[in-house]
Chains A and B, each alone.
Chain A
Amino acid sequence: MATVLLEASTTTRTSIVKPPAPKRQYPGALVVVEGIDGSGKSTQLYLLKRWLEIGGYRIHFTEWNSSPLVKSATRRGKQRRLLTPTTFSLLHAADFADRCERQILPLLHGGYLVLADRYIYTAFARDAARGCSPHWLRNLYSFAPVPDITFYFRAPLDVAVNRIVAGRPKLKYYEAGMDLGISLDRAESFRIFQERILSNYDSMVESDHFVLMDGTVQVNKLQKLMRQVLGEKVELTQFAPKK
């Protein structure tokens, strides 16, 4: 276990806003995965979800950007490249608010184990990399419940970027951070953008109590560890099927 759980972040950057105090006024539990593209987080959460599903646990899985609410606006904005860092951020926040108030919170109050692929830390890391004020972002998402566990999947930049670039013929405009005007070359822009996001994630490890997961570890071994951490931090029996 010690080989996988890395040392806490090496960055010395101090967090700008004080961390949200974890508080739970509901019987459910919230487990989220975070990390840059290609860090292996979605694969691991999928495996965790399958394990719980097969075991008959009361769970619900939710994804960043999954609501139909802002789909047309996002598409419109992306196609015509109209999104600014601010409107990009607000649209995602509106989408998240919809999911949070109509899905995540009711499920937590109803005693579900909620699994989220990406959460507010994605917005903190990515939108700050676009130039939004970190303080403004923290306020924007202050209505979100604090997770019981935040798994932070960390893979070296090269490993993560190669995983994405190899599997994708063309990087999309906003995905590659082309709106930032860092570089005219998409692959190059993507790399620099991801690097900024990675460093923003690293700066939250301590302040937001991330559980660091080494994304270069073999898939099945990492999954074993993930299940172990989940069992330690969340009382799984309360979500287990009644016998």
Chain B
Amino acid sequence: MVSVNSKNGNPSSKTKKRKKKNGQSEIPSRFYGVPLPGVKLEELSGTLFVLEGTDGSGRSTQISLLTEWLESEGFAVQTMGLRRSFLVADDIDTLLAENSVTPMTLALMYSTDFFDQLERRILPALRSGLIVLADRYIYTLIARSAVRGIGRDYLHGIYEMALRPDLTFWLNVKPEIAFDREFKKSQTISYWESGRDMSLSNDLFQSFIRYQSLIRREFDYLSQRHGFIEIDGEESVSEVNRVLRKRIASALGIRSTHYKPSHALAHLWR
């Protein structure tokens, strides 16, 4: 009886493997490498737009505005970001607070957070034809780990199963400008934003500038490798928003890009 069972087990595992191989050869470039197990690309009718940039580059503001604009145009929007998974978001918060965590462990916790959101929230949203706006994506995760000495190839290897965005915007901002904005926002500069775990400088301002410069250099490299759309993030909110709307509108076939924020968001419009 036992040997009968084992024979039943074998063919099914073989068919599974064969299916996967076929899938692999047919995939267009929506994944960087091997696709996630069990994902059928033809089912993904939604669109994924990513906003990348360092701290203080204005990503979150733009996401709020774009969400309102897209909804007014009749598109359903889902957002994602870092540390927003059900699975490990709280655990990462704890790790960051303790700051005894090593770079490799943190990198892998963030990748768990990323894939939990991707598999359980973003892919279902894309299957339902939603627009997904990502406030940061794998690129921030790669950049942060790379400046801490983890190999770029290693990091790209982990994220090779991630979905390639339809468009990736890079809001490029000088670290000095980012510092002003971040300081204005919270009246202080956080431990991680200034990369204090890297012992770059005891002077917090210097530490922030050096750390964000290192991250920016990684973005520069990633931008070339992955074809980011670079936007001058030092422009006014309304100007950056106009450029974003133009590109997104043409990707989605929206004719008019006219938009004026509602009363609720008017304070963001500078």
Given A72-B91, A90-B115, A97-B108: A139 touches B158 (CB 8 Å cut-off): yes
Q: List, in ascending order, chain A residues with CB within 8 A of B256's CB.
A: none
A135 at the interface (CB under 8 A from B): yes
A24 at the interface (CB under 8 A from B): no
Q: List, in ascending order, chain A residues with CB within 8 A of B176's CB.
A: none
Interface 0/1 of A18-57, CB less than 8 Å to B? 0000000000000000000000000000000000000000
Minimum distance in angstroms from A92 CB to a CB of chain B = 9
A90–B91 touching, CB < 8 Å? no
A191–B5 touching, CB < 8 Å? yes
Given A86-B36, A140-B157: A182 touches B87 (CB 8 Å cut-off): no
A192–B5 touching, CB < 8 Å? yes
Question: Which of B6-14, B129-137, B180-188, B218-226 contacts its partner?
Answer: B6-14
A87 at the interface (CB under 8 A from B): yes
Q: List, in ascending order, chain B residues with CB within 8 A of A226's CB.
A: none
**Bound form: Cα–Cα A101–B5 in Å:** 42
A73 at the interface (CB under 8 A from B): yes
Interface 0/1 of A60-103, CB less than 8 Å to B? 00000000011011001100001111110011011001101110
**Bound form: Cα–Cα A158–B3 in Å:** 9
B111–A192 touching, CB < 8 Å? no
Q: List, in ascending order, chain B residues with CB within 8 A of A148's CB.
A: none
Q: List, in ascending order, chain B residues with CB within 8 A of A230's CB.
A: none
CB contact between B112 and one of A85, A91, A195, A196 (< 8 Å): that residue: A91
CB contacts between A and B, total, < 8 Å: 104
Given A131-B16, A136-B157, A196-B13: A97 touches B115 (CB 8 Å cut-off): no
Question: Which of B68-76, B98-106, B258-266 contacts its partner?
Answer: B98-106
B9–A182 touching, CB < 8 Å? yes
B160 at the interface (CB under 8 A from A): yes
A222 at the interface (CB under 8 A from B): no
A77–B87 touching, CB < 8 Å? yes
Q: List, in ascending order, chain A residues with CB within 8 A of B38's CB.
A: 131
Interface 0/1 of B239-252, CB less than 8 Å to A? 00000000000000
CB contact between A90 and one of B16, B95, B108 (< 8 Å): that residue: B108
A94–B158 touching, CB < 8 Å? no
Cβ-closest chain A residue relative to B103? A101
Given A70-B91, A86-B115, A139-B158: A98 touches B101 (CB 8 Å cut-off): yes
**What is A's interface to B at a CB cutoff of 8 Å?**
69-70, 72-73, 76-77, 82-87, 90-91, 93-94, 97-98, 100-102, 130-133, 135-136, 139-140, 142-143, 157-158, 182, 188, 191-192, 195-196
A-B pairs, 9 with minimum CB distance = A94-B108, A139-B157, A192-B9, A131-B37, A90-B112, A101-B102, A97-B104, A98-B105, A97-B105
**What is B's interface to A at a CB cutoff of 8 Å?**
2, 5-6, 8-9, 12-13, 16, 20, 33-34, 36-38, 86-88, 90-91, 95, 101-102, 104-105, 107-109, 111-112, 115-116, 119-120, 154, 157-158, 160-161
23 contacts between A and B (CB under 8 A): A69-B95, A72-B90, A73-B91, A76-B87, A82-B86, A82-B120, A84-B120, A86-B161, A87-B115, A93-B108, A94-B111, A94-B112, A97-B107, A98-B102, A131-B16, A131-B38, A132-B37, A139-B157, A142-B154, A158-B2, A191-B9, A192-B6, A192-B8
